[in-house]
Structure 1
Amino acid sequence: MDNYKLFSNWLNHILEQDIPEGIKAFNFNLYEGSDDTYDIQLIGSDEFDEKDFDWACTDYFSSEVNICYIKRTEDIEQWEQGLNHITVLVERYLKEGEYAIILKSVSAIGIGFVDGDIDILFRA
């Protein structure tokens, strides 16, 4: 299965659930997994401040242990490559994903490793 199909199936499963009202921004939290993977978690925050990345620490909504695992390969070995690869997956989902309208109903969508900066991929 290609990574986009894996990612979009995972995201569809999350977004078809009841998402709470009041989410101002979504963030794709990225982790370097222990099993040679990049681990993706979706959180929704009830606050958003582009100048203060702490908004993404308020997980008003979270996919919690429902994580998407993207296997590291030679072409996405370095974390920067992994970030770029997953960013492309998110951007593609925002264009053609089944529930993209839900993601785009908030003020912003970000992505980033939990111990790093957040890149804003979408602003309403």
Structure 2
Amino acid sequence: MHDFAIVSKWLDKILSQELPKGIVAFNFNIYEGSNGTYDVQLIGSDEFDENDEDWACSDYYSSGEDICYIKRIKEIEQWEQGLSFITKLVEQYLIEGRNADSLKSACVIGIGFVDGDIGIIYRSE
């Protein structure tokens, strides 16, 4: 799958760098891009509160302008379809990705549009 290769390459690059100590949660922020894309940014937070999604607003760590671009095609044109598709790509990375353990070192991994709800896709045991 072409899009999985794009996500894998992006995450491998980010996660091969030294991340700040103290990240307890990661979130994949999704934006509706202006060029027919979904733009994905990774943030790491030093806090997590199940009842307050503002934990994902932390600027403790961010991939910043290092964004992953997923082309919006007909099958994922609607935001719900895009969210589901990108979630599956990230979940696949958590299983197969070279640096998946770096992400799974956090207690929680979430995903969602920046102006929407966060879905938790991973919890450490």
* TM-score, scaled to structure 2: 0.98
The C-alpha deviation readout for 1:64-123, integer Å capped at 9, x for no partner, is 000000000000000000000000000000001000000000110000000000000001
Give how far 1:59 is off: 2.0
CA distance, structure 2, for counterparts of residue 33 and residue 51 of structure 1: 28
Q: Counterpart of 1:43?
A: 43
The C-alpha deviation readout for 1:14-52, integer Å capped at 9, x for no partner, is 000110100010000000000010000000000001111
Given residue 73 of structure 2, which amino acid in structure 1 is its aligned partner?
T
CA distance, structure 2, for counterparts of residue 17 and residue 105 of structure 1: 15
Q: Counterpart of 2:101?
A: 101
Identity of aligned residues (%): 65
Q: Counterpart of 1:112?
A: 112
Q: Counterpart of 1:85?
A: 85
Does residue 63 (structure 1) correspond to residue 63 (structure 2)? The answer is yes
Given residue 47 of structure 1, which amino acid in structure 2 is its aligned partner?
E
Q: What SS does structure 1 have at the residue aligned with 2:47? A: coil
Does residue 23 (structure 1) correspond to residue 48 (structure 2)? The answer is no
Q: Counterpart of 1:76?
A: 76
Equivalenced residue count is 124
Q: What SS does structure 2 have at the residue aligned with 1:83? A: helix
Runs (4+) of structure 1 moved beyond 4 Å?
A: none
CA distance, structure 1, for counterparts of residue 30 and residue 50 of structure 2: 18
Q: Counterpart of 1:2?
A: 2
CA distance, structure 2, for counterparts of residue 122 and residue 59 of structure 1: 21
Unaligned runs of 5+ in 1: none
